[in-house]
Amino acid sequence: MTLPLVSAIAGGRAGRRVAGAGLLLLILVLWFGSALADDQPDPFSATVKVDATAESAAAARTSARADGQRRALDDVIQRLTGSPDLSKLPKLEDHTITDMVDSFEVTNEKMSKVRYLADYTFHFRRSRIRQLLRSAGIAFSENPEKPVVVIPVLQDGDKLVLWDDPNPWREAWGQAPASSGPAKLSLPLGGVGDLTAIDAEQARSGDAQALSDIAQRNGGDETLVAFATERRQGGGVAGLDLSIKRYRLGQPSDSRTDHIDAHPGESDSDFFKRAVDVVIADIEHGGPPTRDKEASLAATVPIANLGDWVALRRRLAAVPGIRKVDLLSLSRQEAKVEIKYVGSPDLLKSSLAQADLDLDGAEPDWRLVPAGAATQN
């Protein structure tokens, strides 16, 4: 008669042992997960060194903090957007940036009667940063640890090559050492899925859907289209004309050009490898992008009513690279505008195409129409 009781007690003890082990396992999992999370860098935080001089240490500290939080905000935005170009953002007052700071930490603090030095770590409010970037129409990613997927396209005479062999430009990228900078560059293996996602012409033209597909297939949000045009002389490669365009979520975020000459006696293989090293070093050390140069063009926009113009103006405001749109004249049939932008006309065309707008013509008769309308007329 006592057996069921003994069994129940033993079962209860065993149950408590199992429950205790389960609780211990849960604690370990939570602790380990928390430790891993702590090891991940916060994309909304940045550490900067500050150094300011003023009439007193207190005034120097106030000045240093204001300067530090502004530079930290720039660092966070560049990390999230993948571009050093901040010209599309509005000018922010110091108190506005202060309101965006959630908390900050100070280390290595030193001061004299008139000077203040320290290391500040600023943690910004995620919602405020997101609101700032979205209102400016700037694409961003909150996972900057994702790789930048490299698409090496080679123009050899009339041939445009990406996945096909031979492509010495792609081979050189495949032999490049691992990047030591903040941008983790990744070269697709060229499997069936990669071949299906994007081809050479789509990469050169900046096809937003294809660029997004190849990036996602390879675990990233960004692509770097490295377009190289060969310059040949005497049967060998005399140089490369490079157009390097970076895209985030399929939208242009940066562009630069370069011209590299082969050294006398340098083999084609060694030259391509050196050209890759030049591009990687330029990316890692923030070489000056060509799109920082501002340009403008005047264009005619056909409209049916005032609502068409208002809708178009909103779409233009969200196009990457466009800094300002001035209305020159307005009638019932058309609007004449001046578009101020950074980069080349080709980059502007590519950016407008992502907004379903076609820029046709040439100086001084540019025409801006909804995608498809130009072919219909």
Q: Write down the pLDDT at residue 105.
A: 92
pLDDT for 290? 42
Buried-exposed string 158-186: b where 16+ CB fall within 10 A, e elsewhere: eebbbbeeebbbbbbbeeeeebeeebbbb
pLDDT of residue 293: 59
Burial 47-73 (b: 16+ CB within 10 A, else e): ebebebeeeebeebbebbbebbbbebb
What is the fold of 148-289?
A: Rossmann fold (3.40.50)
Q: What is 45-135's CATH number, 1.20.1250, 4.10.860, 3.10.28, 1.10.357?
A: 3.10.28
Q: Where are the domains of the chain?
A: 45-135, 148-289, 293-376
Give the model's confidence band at 97: pLDDT under 50 very low, under 70 low, under 90 confident, else very high.
Answer: very high
Tokens 């500040």 belong to which residue?
Answer: 120
pLDDT at residue 2 greater than cutoff 50:
no
* Position 18 pLDDT exceeds 90: no
State the pLDDT at residue 119. 92
Share of the chain above pLDDT 70, in %: 79
| Beta bridge partner(s), residue 244 | 226, 256
Report the C-alpha gap between 205 and 225 in whole angstroms: 10
pLDDT at 25 over 80: no
Q: What would the pLDDT profile of 272-323 be if each residue is shown by its tens digit? A: 999 998 888 877 655 444 444 578 889 999 998 888 888 888 888 767 667 7
Q: Yes or no: is domain 293-376 CATH 3.30.70? A: yes
122: nearest Cα among 142, 89, 145, 99:
99
Its pTM stands at 0.47
Helix (H) or strand (E) holding 228: strand 222-233
Q: How far is residue 280's CA from residue 184's CA, in Å, rounded to a whole number? A: 10
Q: In the prediction, which pLDDT does 20 show?
A: 53
The residue to which tokens 């060694």 are assigned: 270
Backbone angles phi, psi at 185, to 5 degrees: -85, 140
Taking a C-beta distance cutoff of 8 angstroms, is the pair 241, 228 a contact? yes
What value does the mean pLDDT of the chain take?
Answer: 80
